Chain A
Amino acid sequence: MQKLLLLGDEAIAQGAIDAGISAVYAYPGTPSTEITEYIQVSKDASAKKIKSQWSANEKTAMETAIGMSYAGKKSLVCMKHVGLNVAADAFINSAITGANGGLVVLSADDPSMHSSQNEQDSRFYGKFALIPVMEPSNQQEAYDMTRYAFELSEKYGTPVLLRITTRLAHSRAGVKREAEVPQNKMKLSSDLQQFVLLPSIARKQYNMLLDKQELFEEDAMQSGFNKFFPAKDKSLGVIACGIAYNYLLENYEDGKIPFPVLKVSQYPVPRKMVEKLYEMVDEVLVLEDGYPIFEELLRGYLNKGKTIHGRMDGSIPRAGELNPNIVGKALGLEISEGFETPGVLAGRPPQLCQGCSHTDSFTALNEALEPYSRGRVLSDIGCYTLSALPPLEAINSCVDMGASITMAIGAADAGLFPVVAAIGDSTFTHSGMTGLLDAVNQKAPITVLLNDNATTGMTGGQNSSAFEKVDDIVRGVGVEEAHIRIIIPLRRNHEENVKVFQEELEYKGVSVIIARRECVQTLARRMKLKMMEKREAKA
């Protein structure tokens, strides 16, 4: 079969399709979004009737997948690293129930925070949940390991965590496909109490999970994804996890690394393999594209063994993504340099698109807030977060999805009035609407600006679960009709909109101002599609 040129994300998607999934459940988040998008447009996937709609958030996605596993079929759950925080309750407990149908959770980490609030390392979650973790180093491995993760999941009856980082997610290379595995037929577990985590049953299930730990390690020895490469120079041994292995290899043009190397792609890392390397070398260098998780383990609390180099002793910077030169420096190699960056260079931060509705919403809000002191707008995550930057400088927080409304309640409780919460439609149904219920129940004096642009703009315009439901939800949660105000954020409505804000800012209860205008990007895309359809109909 000819190789396909695939992003790491796409390789995972194709791997999952070929592994016989019946569904992918996901909430968008860079750098994981392209996995689900690939399945959504894949002809293979639609021929096989693989379900691939977006879920409302990562927790609902995770739980839906557990349901599919309960009924005996295979599914993939995808999210960005911080999404795993949202799904964590379901995720950790799924390790206790174990899997019936294959259950693979993909979490895409973002070291260097290219598009994220932090650079947390999902491998921690794997260890926390006590389940196997796969960490591919390249696109082919991404494909192969996705398939293997499903095998592993069904072999041991456990969810498996697949961890990638931005660089692999968004880099293309040739990938060879393997034979397709059919989907499962529906089949419930022979133990109908397996998923009932009452304490008495949970204790039993937890012990079963603990018993599996040895098998997981044994598997990581045998699967072939962890590899030991012997070499002559024993002054150093290198442990390279996931994509870090490529950066190591890149530093030796002939591909011959002088030191013994342990390439790690499956966790728990087999003790025997680590011991073998540790015993034969003078010092160890640990390369991880993320937190120094393995390095810390190897070092131990007291750090009394051999010298371990890595992020913790400064051989590698403590924060940020790895690259070939950082690894080269840690190896003591001479590093190539390019030209000096000239002083004329100015930064070019991302910004709201020309004509974006958010610009008009926040311009009006800014004007309405002029009489008050600054620092009153608690915001959420989405394109509108860019309004923190000049020229708007309109918002004062962005912590986690859904935090705008709840933080506003807390700030109001502390005495900040007026206070505004700014949130997008997709974020609202992700995890904002429960906060709004809190606000209503407490009669909190807050003004919510709900930016309803009918899409999940930030991640590229995926369908929003809130589509055409925002008003009903706001009403249903109990916001008073008189304080649900709908505005159209356009420059020509500016005066009118400022007035609406002014009125609601003064109200000492919950008001929700719904600013409704479609994202110009999705609008343009829709128009283009329509034109193409028309042209085709004519022809």
Chain B
Amino acid sequence: MKKNIIISGVGGQGILTIATVIGTAALSEGLELKQAEVHGMSQRGGDVQSHLRISSNPIASDLIPEGKADIIISIEPMESLRYVNMLHKKGGWLVTSMNPFNNIANYPPIEDVLNAIWKLPHYVTIDANRVAKDLGSIKAANIVVLGAASPFLDIKYESLEKAISSIFSKKGDDIVQLNLKALKAGKDYADERT
């Protein structure tokens, strides 16, 4: 088993939480893992991405080679496009929130962004903000997106659930339940459409 995952978004949107959940789940299944993060300068409202590699065998490079990402998980639609050069042409999935984070003057029309995504062979686009809000808090939008990506990760769904329970446990049971529901809602959405 080997999965190359790119997680992307805007600094401050919580992409590292997604990486931590997948990473914790992967470790619980005894898999090897490497995860390159972005710290420093680019965190401040700029584009950020993380390369997460999980495998049943040792992993050499911290960076995913171009064209070898199995999945892009993005909390922001335009940011998902920034890394399509990394996506595997055969079978690579792009899973992204449809909600733009507009902190720049020249953000393109959102229809153009979505149309570019919809040209790809395999994608899931989800209104994660609305789904999360309906469940109780927009803060869980990143976990909704993770849920929508969960069918393509080759990690047991229960492992992801367990990881969420342990990672959010410090914040209280309400937050754990919210995020478990967010994960499920994302997964159901993806299952219905693929």
Contact = CB atoms under 8 A, between A and B. Distances in A.
Interface of A: 5, 7, 30-31, 33-34, 114-115, 138, 167-168, 170-174, 243, 246-247, 249-250, 255, 323-325, 328, 335-342, 344-353, 383, 386, 390-391, 458-460
A173 B60 CA distance: 11
A171 B35 contact: yes
Interface stretch (B87-95, B136-144, B146-154): B87-95
B35 A172 contact: yes
B63 A167 contact: yes
Contacts of A328: 65
Contacts, number: 161
Nearest to A173: B34
B27 interface: yes
B1 interface: no
A416 to B, nearest CB: 29
Given A5-B27, A174-B32, A350 B43 contact: yes
B78 A250 contact: no
B95 to A, nearest CB: 15
Given A170-B38, A337-B66, A249 B60 contact: yes
B112 interface: yes
A167 B36 contact: yes
B37 interface: yes
Contacts of A246: 60-62
13 contacts: A171-B37, A249-B60, A250-B60, A250-B65, A324-B65, A325-B65, A335-B66, A339-B84, A344-B112, A344-B116, A348-B79, A351-B45, A353-B44
B120 interface: yes
Contacts of B23: 5, 172
B180 interface: no
Contact of B40 (A114, A243, A340): A114
A138 B59 CA distance: 10
B87 A344 contact: no
B37 A351 contact: no
Contact of A340 (B10, B39, B45, B85): B85
A170 B120 CA distance: 31
A138 B84 CA distance: 27
B105 A390 contact: yes
A171 B67 contact: no
B28 to A, nearest CB: 12
Nearest to B44: A350
A350 B106 contact: no
B103 interface: yes
Interface in B84-143: 84-89, 92, 103-108, 112-113, 116, 119-120
B44 A243 contact: no
Contacts of B113: 344
A333 B173 CA distance: 52
A138 B62 CA distance: 9
Contact of B67 (A5, A336, A458): A336
B166 interface: no
A180 B64 CA distance: 34
Interface string B44-83: 1111000100000001111111111100000000110110
A114 B41 contact: yes
B169 to A, nearest CB: 15
Given A30-B40, A174-B32, A350 B107 contact: no
Contacts of A341: 81-82, 84-85
Given A170-B37, A171-B35, A172-B34, A338 B63 contact: no
B34 A348 contact: no
A338 B89 contact: yes
Contacts of A115: 40-42
A348 B10 contact: yes
Contacts of B103: 348, 351
Given A31-B39, A345-B82, A338 B92 contact: yes
Contact of A350 (B11, B59, B68): B11
B33 interface: yes
Contacts of A7: 37
Contacts of B38: 114, 170
Given A167-B62, A172-B33, A250-B61, A34 B81 contact: no
